[in-house]
Amino acid sequence: MVAYHKGFNMEKISGIYAIVHTPTKRRYVGSAVFIERRTQWHKTILRRNKHHSIALQRAWNKYGENAFEFLILEICSIDMLICREQYYINEQSEFNSSKTAGSKLGIKDSEKTRIRKRLAYKGHLNKPETRAKMAKTVTGHLVSQETRNKISAKLKGIKLRPETCAKMSASRTGRLNPYFGRKHSDETLAKLRAGWVRRKARQEQLSIKEKN
């Protein structure tokens, strides 16, 4: 476990973190592509009394900021975040509103929270086509809310073993990068180089024409 502190360069580092109430060791577990940004976001929201975890917010308000510590539980690759977050949530996560990693299943906003969210996002909604693009998975298919709920329900309470995590990571690698592990032939490399040379020549010709 690595303590999060000033001077520790967390830029561009992904992994699992925890917000720990030091006296009782109760904690909130989360995952992030950029740990530093996410922990700073949590601090900002907690200071504004607007955190989605009511239990964490109440404890923060009662005991004060100095009673909490931000810890790095594990540094891992992006494709392993949800898997590893679920492991630590199952292990200990008193302040987490939802016990399913990457899901809001089980979290019910109060009327006050819903009004606050509507006011916060009013005038900042994305266009329908943008929302559709954001909803697409890595395979390019839209996943319905019903399907997401089924996946969340199935994963709820499941403690994944390290070998299972490794298999999940291996299965996702090919989808995220279709060229992973492939090596181009000499003929293909020659074609790629030739194409690059032609494009560069055309760009230079266009540049000369624009100057003239």
Domains of the chain: 2-177 (3.40.1440.10)
Q: What percent of the chain has pLDDT over 70?
A: 62
Instruction: Find the distance separating the first CA and the last CA of the chain, reported in whole Å.
Output: 63
CA 97, chain centre distance (Å): 17
| Average pLDDT rounded to a whole number, residues 128-138 | 53
d(CA 62, CA 172): 43
| Average pLDDT rounded to a whole number, residues 178-206 | 77
The model's pTM is 0.48
pLDDT at 181: 58
Sheet containing 68-75: give its strands across. 2-3, 68-75, 15-21, 26-32
The answer, yes or no, to whether residue 189 has pLDDT greater than 60, is yes
d(CA 52, CA 105): 13
pLDDT confidence bin for 104, thresholds 50/70/90: low
pLDDT at 6: 43
Q: How many C-beta neighbours within 10 Å does residue 171 have?
A: 10
